[in-house]
Amino acid sequence: MLDIRGVSYSYDGVEAVRNVSASVGAAQLVGLTGPNGSGKSTLLKLLARVFAPSTGTIAFEGRSIREWPPKEYAKRVAYLPQDPDPTFPMRAVDVVVSGRAPFLGRFEWEKDSDYDEAARALALCDAADLADRYLDEMSGGERKRVFLARVLAARPKLILLDEPLSSLDISHVQQFSNLLRDIVSRTEATVIYATHELNWAAAYCDRMLVMQKGALALDAPPSDLMRPDVVRELFGFDASVVEGWLVPRV
């Protein structure tokens, strides 16, 4: 579904992503991890067409993403930036229905069917009861669910999430991880999400991509990542692995 071939991206002379190649199929949950500043966010933005690669190509469904008309691409690929915050207060349902924007013509307004999609997406994210509440009066976990619903409202085939687990407490991390797993199995979409929650990602993902200084250092099933030597090399973190979970050596 997604084919990344030799993609690099640099700005201000810094190569944030260098020569990344990977292929991702349908209905997969993919964890994208790596130390701070390793290029995770930039890679997601390249896939979301926020940036265009300096070199290399990205193909989606066999067609270079440069050639996709922007709105058509946006109907199929949805991206959630890290901690989006509307400038002015908005109701959850308005936030979610704005995810239908790629389907609207220039002077067209959201139809009932778009609101149905929004309601469906909110329900899928266990957030139906939040519909009429304002974002600024919600907890961090509630906001994340609303924004995930916004992404799902377009029924995308590829979902790109930038650190959806950040600033969630441990039970919400679990809830959200379950939710991502659910979405993959129910909608057959592929979800690629950036995260620092190695243990959680490894427990839930089909596959892990690890970035290091802009390059893709590892592309493997979670079991290959969760080894003391690999974690020490990639993250400089001294840990034992107990029942598949990383435990720091204190």
Partner 1 sequence: MLLLLLVLALAIVAGSTFGTATISWRDVLAGDVTARTVMIDIRLPRVVLAALIGAALASAGVTFQTLLRNPLADPFILGVSGGAACGAAVTTALGFARIPGVVSIVAFAGACGATFAVFLLARRREYTDPTRLLLSGLVLNALFSAIILIAYALAPATDLTMALRWMMGTLFGATWSDVALLLGFVLASFAVLVAIAGDLRMFAFGEDDAKSRGVDVERVKLIGFAASSIVTGAAVAVSGIIGFVGLLVPHLVRLIWRRDFRVLLPLSALGGAILLVLADLASRVALSTSELPVGAFTAILGVPFFLSLLRRSR
Which residues contact partner 1 (rule: CB under 8 A)?
A: 45, 48-50, 69-75, 77-81, 84-91, 94, 98-99, 101-102, 104, 106-109, 134, 137, 160
CB of 83 to partner 1, least distance (A): 10
CA Rg value for the chain = 18
Between 66 and 227, CB nearer to partner 1: 66
The closest of 160, 134, 131 to 24, measured between CA atoms, is 160
Between 112 and 243, CB nearer to partner 1: 112
Between 72 and 233, CB nearer to partner 1: 72
Between 70 and 140, CB nearer to partner 1: 70
CB of 84 to partner 1, least distance (A): 4
CB of 96 to partner 1, least distance (A): 12
The closest of 42, 41, 49 to 66, measured between CA atoms, is 49
Between 146 and 180, CB nearer to partner 1: 146
CB of 161 to partner 1, least distance (A): 12
CB of 48 to partner 1, least distance (A): 4
User: Which residues, in sequence order, are CB contacts of 112 under 8 Å at separation 6+?
Assistant: none
Tokens of 104: 């609207």
CB of 44 to partner 1, least distance (A): 9
Between 93 and 183, CB nearer to partner 1: 93
| Cα–Cα distances in angstroms (integers) from residue 148 to residues 152, 153, 179, 199, 248, in the given order | 6, 9, 10, 21, 32
